[in-house]
C-alpha cells in the first residue's frame, strides 16, 4: 500500500489550541494542566479516570463518548477508535476542511496521552493475561496520528512536557509554535517505539526466543554528559528501566556530575564487587581492577585492595558491597578517588565523605545479583552484537584437579577468588591473589605471557612501595581468564612465586602446560569455563 500523493501548503508557525483530548494513565500534573487549559478557554475531551479526576477538580470536561455519540464498549477496549476522534486529529486544516464540515468532525488541536503501564505491569511479575490487558491500543493510535499531523496538532506523551506547552500558550496567546510541535512529535514516536519494543521483548521471552528475528533497543535519556570518552566526543546516558542495582538506579549523594568514563568504570567496579559474599572492596581504573579484596570487614578489605596497586588506585573508582562505615570512609577520604559506590552509608561515613566535595558518592540500596540473567549489547558499524550477560559462576564442585599435587584448602579459596576477579579484567587477563586479595593484575595484553609478567612487575613495585622484602606474588595463586596456549605464561607465573593455578583448559597444549606445572610443583585446577572480556 502506498501513501497518497497530496499537495498541501507549508505548516503554520503558530496553531491555536481550541480543543484538547486528554487520556492519561499517569495522572501526574493532570489537574494543573486541565486548569490552565480551561483558563485559556480550551474545550477538554477526556475518558474514564482522567475525565473523573478533572471533573472532581471542578474543571469543565466532556466525555469522549458524548463527543462521538458512541459509548465505550468491550470493557473500554473501544472508546477513542472513532472517526470523530481520529478525523479531528488527522485532518489537515488546509485541505480537509470540507470533509470535516460534511461529516461534522471538529478539530482536536492538542492530544495529551500517556499509555497503559505495560512495562510496570511486567516488572511486577503480573500473569500473562494481565500483561496483555495492559497493552494500550487506542493510546498509541492517537499519539501516532497526532504526531503525524504535527503541522496542526500538538501531542504530549510525558507530564514533564506540560510546562513547555503551557509556557507557549501563555507567550503566544493560546498558540503553540511549529518548533515545539515537531519536537513533541519526535518524542511521541520515540515513546510508542519504546512501548512496542517492550511488548515485543516480553512476548519473545514468553515464547522462549532469546534472539527473535527482529529486536529493538530502547532507552530513556537520563543525563546529557559533558563529553564522551574524550572531549571531542558527544555523549549521553540512557536508562532502560531495568531495576538492577547500579549506576542507573543509584542516588548521587554528593560530588560533581558523573562523566562518561565515571559511569562506565563505576558500573564495572560495582558488578565486580557484587561477586563476593564476604565484605569486599574493588578499586577500578579504566574499567580494570587495580585492587580487589575480601575481608572480615570493609576496612580490612579496603586496605588489602589498596596494597595491590596504590599508584593506579589514584583517581580510581571504589566499590564496596556493604553499607559504608565511618572507619572505611575515613581511609577512603585519604585517597584521591573519582567515585565511591556502595549499597548505603551510615551518617558518620556520609559526613566524612562530605569533606571531599568533588568526590562523587553513589548509593544503590542493594548489590546486583551476579548470577542473574540479562543481555549485553555492543555497537558495530551497521549493526550490533547481543549476548547474555556473563553470569557464569564456578564453585568447588566444578573444579578438576589435573596435576600431581592437589591445592590446599587455602589455595582453593584463593583460586576461586582470583577467577571471579579475572572475569572482570580485560583479556588477556592474569590475576595473582593471596589470602582473599589481589596481589597483581595483568590486563588487556595481546599476549597472555605479557599479562603474567606485567602483573608480577606491578606486584613487585607495590611490595617495594609498602616496604616489604619480597614481591606480593610470593606464595600466591594465579588465575587466567582463558587457557594458556603455551607453557610460557604459566612459567612466568611460577617465576613470580605462585603455588597454584586456575584456568579453563581446552588448549591443544594442555598436557604441556600441566607437565610444566608438575615440574614446578604447582597445583592446577581446570574450570571448563572461560571469561573473555573485551
Quote the pLDDT of residue 2: 60
Beta strand pairing status for 288-294 and 316-320?
unpaired
473-512 pLDDT, tens digit per residue, is 999 999 999 999 999 999 999 999 999 999 999 999 999 9
Quote the pLDDT of residue 276: 97
DSSP annotation of 381 reads: T
Quote the pLDDT of residue 4: 67
Quote the pLDDT of residue 496: 95
In the chain, the percentage of residues whose pLDDT exceeds 90 is 85
User: Which cell numbers in the block locate residue 380?
Assistant: 558495530
**Catalytic option among 27, 62, 286, 303:** 286
Quote the pLDDT of residue 5: 65
Quote the pLDDT of residue 306: 97
Q: Please list, in sequence order, all residues whose beta carbon lies within 8 angstroms of the beta carbon of residue 291, skipping any fewer than 6 positions away.
A: 281, 282, 283, 304, 305, 306, 307, 308, 309, 310, 312, 313, 437, 438, 441
Give the helix/strand (H/E) hosting 211: none
Closest to 527 measured CA to CA, from 408, 422, 374: 422
117-140 pLDDT, tens digit per residue, is 999 999 889 999 999 999 999 999
Q: Are 136 and 195 in contact (CB under 8 A)?
A: yes
62-110 pLDDT, tens digit per residue, is 988 888 877 777 776 777 778 888 899 999 988 888 888 999 899 999 9
Q: Is 328 exposed, middle or buried (0-12, 13-18, 19+ CB in 10 A)?
A: buried
- At 325, the pLDDT band (50, 70, 90 cuts) reads very high
Q: Assess whether 86 carries a catalytic annotation.
A: no
381-432 pLDDT, tens digit per residue, is 999 999 999 999 999 999 999 999 999 999 999 999 999 999 999 999 999 9
- Residue 315 in this model has a pLDDT that exceeds 70: yes
Q: Are 31 and 49 in contact (CB under 8 A)?
A: no
- At 1, the pLDDT band (50, 70, 90 cuts) reads low
**Catalytic option among 27, 148, 256, 303:** 148
Closest to 376 measured CA to CA, from 228, 507, 254, 533: 533
Tell me which of 84 and 2 has the higher pLDDT. Answer: 84
Least confident range from 56-70, 228-242, 254-268: namely 56-70
Which residues partner with 21 through β-bridges? Answer: 45, 111
Quote the pLDDT of residue 189: 96
Mean pLDDT of 283-301: 97
Helix (H, G, I), strand (E, B) or coil at 66: helix
Quote the pLDDT of residue 274: 97
**pTM given for the model:** 0.87
Q: Helices 510-519 and 488-496, interaxial angle, to 10°?
A: 20
Quote the pLDDT of residue 405: 96
- Residue 15 in this model has a pLDDT that exceeds 70: yes
Quote the pLDDT of residue 3: 67
Mean pLDDT of 31-35: 96
- At 259, the pLDDT band (50, 70, 90 cuts) reads very high
327-355 pLDDT, tens digit per residue, is 999 999 999 999 999 999 999 999 999 99
pLDDT, mean over the chain: 93
Q: Which residue has the cell 474514564?
A: 48
Quote the pLDDT of residue 34: 96
Q: How is 94-125 classified by DSSP, letter by letter?
A: TT-HHHHHHTT-----EEEEE---HHHHHHTT
Q: Is 104 exposed, middle or buried (0-12, 13-18, 19+ CB in 10 A)?
A: exposed
Q: Are 68 and 85 in contact (CB under 8 A)?
A: yes
Q: Assess whether 103 carries a catalytic annotation.
A: no
- Residue 242 in this model has a pLDDT that exceeds 90: no
- At 6, the pLDDT band (50, 70, 90 cuts) reads low
Closest to 516 measured CA to CA, from 504, 532, 530, 498: 498
Quote the pLDDT of residue 67: 85
- Residue 7 in this model has a pLDDT that exceeds 90: no
Give the torsion sign (CA, 347, 352, 358, 361).
negative
Amino acid at each position: 500500500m502506498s501513501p497518497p500523493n497530496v499537495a498541501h501548503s507549508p505548516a503554520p508557525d503558530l496553531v491555536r489550541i481550541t480543543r484538547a483530548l486528554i487520556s492519561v494513565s499517569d495522572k501526574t500534573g493532570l489537574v494543573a494542566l486541565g486548569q490552565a487549559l480551561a483558563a485559556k478557554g480550551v474545550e477538554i475531551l477526556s475518558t474514564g479516570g482522567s475525565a473523573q479526576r478533572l471533573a472532581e477538580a471542578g474543571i469543565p470536561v466532556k466525555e469522549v463518548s458524548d463527543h462521538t455519540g458512541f459509548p465505550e464498549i468491550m470493557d473500554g477496549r473501544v472508546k477513542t477508535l472513532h472517526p470523530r476522534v481520529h478525523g479531528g486529529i488527522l485532518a489537515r486544516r488546509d485541505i480537509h476542511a470540507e470533509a470535516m464540515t460534511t461529516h461534522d468532525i471538529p478539530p482536536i488541536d492538542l492530544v495529551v496521552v500517556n499509555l497503559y503501564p505495560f512495562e510496570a505491569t511486567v516488572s511486577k511479575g503480573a500473569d500473562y493475561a494481565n500483561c496483555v490487558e495492559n497493552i494500550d491500543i487506542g493510546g498509541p493510535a492517537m499519539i501516532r496520528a497526532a504526531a503525524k499531523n504535527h503541522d496542526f496538532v500538538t501531542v504530549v506523551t510525558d507530564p514533564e512536557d506540560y510546562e513547555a506547552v503551557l509556557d507557549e500558550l501563555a507567550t503566544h496567546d493560546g498558540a503553540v509554535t511549529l518548533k515545539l510541535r515537531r519536537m513533541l512529535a519526535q518524542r511521541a514516536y520515540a515513546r510508542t517505539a519504546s512501548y512496542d519494543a517492550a511488548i515485543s521483548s516480553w512476548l519473545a521471552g514468553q515464547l522462549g526466543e532469546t534472539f527473535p528475528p527482529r529486536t529493538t533497543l530502547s532507552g530513556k535519556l537520563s543525563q546529557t554528559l559533558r563529553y564522551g570518552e574524550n572531549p571531542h566526543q558527544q555523549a549521553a546516558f540512557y536508562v532502560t528501566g531495568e531495576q538492577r542495582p547500579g549506576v542507573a538506579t543509584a542516588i548521587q549523594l554528593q560530588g560533581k556530575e558523573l562523566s562518561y568514563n565515571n559511569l562506565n568504570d563505576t558500573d564495572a567496579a560495582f558488578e565486580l564487587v557484587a561477586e563476593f559474599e564476604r565484605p569486599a572492596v574493588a578499586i577500578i581504573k579504566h574499567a580494570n581492577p587495580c585492587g580487589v579484596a575480601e575481608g572480615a570487614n570493609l576496612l580490612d578489605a579496603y586496605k588489602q585492595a589498596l596494597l595491590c596497586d596504590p599508584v593506579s588506585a589514584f583517581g580510581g573508582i571504589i566499590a564496596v558491597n556493604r553499607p559504608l562505615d565511618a572507619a572505611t570512609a575515613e581511609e577512603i577520604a585519604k585517597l584521591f578517588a573519582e567515585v565511591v559506590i556502595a549499597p548505603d552509608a551510615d551518617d558518620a561515613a556520609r559526613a566524612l565523605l562530605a569533606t571531599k566535595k568533588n568526590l562523587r558518592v553513589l548509593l544503590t540500596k542493594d548489590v546486583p545479583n551476579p548470577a542473574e540473567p540479562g543481555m549485553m549489547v555492543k555497537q558495530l558499524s551497521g549493526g550490533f552484537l547481543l549476548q547474555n550477560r556473563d553470569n557464569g559462576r564456578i564453585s568447588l564442585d566444578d573444579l578438576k584437579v589435573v596435576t600431581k599435587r592437589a591445592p590446599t584448602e587455602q589455595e582453593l579459596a584463593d583460586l576461586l577468588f582470583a577467577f571471579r576477579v579475572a572475569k572482570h579484567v580485560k583479556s588477556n587477563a592474569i590475576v595473582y591473589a593471596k589470602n582473599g586479595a589481589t596481589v597483581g593484575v595483568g590486563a588487556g595484553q595481546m599476549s597472555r605471557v605479557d599479562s603474567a609478567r606485567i602483573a608480577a612487575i606491578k606486584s613487585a613495585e607495590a611490595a617495594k612501595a609498602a616496604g616489604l622484602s619480597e614481591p606480593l606474588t610470593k606464595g600466591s595463586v594465579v588465575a587466567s581468564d582463558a587457557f594458556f596456549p603455551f607453557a610460557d605464561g604459566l612459567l612466568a607465573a611460577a617465576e613470580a612465586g605462585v603455588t597454584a593455578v586456575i584456568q579453563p583448559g581446552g588448549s591443544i597444549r594442555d598436557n604441556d602446560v600441566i607437565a610444566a606445572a608438575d615440574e614446578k610443583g604447582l597445583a592446577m585446577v581446570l574450570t571448563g569455563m572461560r571469561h573473555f572480556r573485551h
